[in-house]
Amino acid sequence: MGNVGDIERITQNRVVKLFKEKLDYTYLGNWEDRSGNSNIEEKLLTNHLTKKGYSQAHITASSILAQVAKSWRKKVVCVQIQYVCLTI
């Protein structure tokens, strides 16, 4: 195993295990080769926020921020989205 990709995959597997076992997240699988793959799945995000009881204004704001993040693809935007979602 001398490939950086192999090491990255091992790390990703550990992170998935942590989220599943310790944080009780649902793992949706490896979508790397899925058509329309995105870092932010707006439909899943909207459904989750709706189930959690967030207002339509908050859901709309998160959708707008997700679209901005997709178009800019900058880490700064992603950090801002995480902050907004955690503090709503």
24: left (phi over 0), alpha (psi -120 to 50) or beta: left
**Per-residue confidence of the chain (88 residues) as pLDDT tens digits?**
557 688 888 999 999 999 999 988 888 888 878 887 777 788 888 998 999 999 999 999 888 888 877 776 655 544 555 554 444 4
**What element of type H or E holds 9?**
helix 4-21
Extract the runs of DSSP E, i.e. beta strands, from the chain: none
The predicted model scores a pTM of 0.56
DSSP secondary structure code for residue 40 in this structure = S
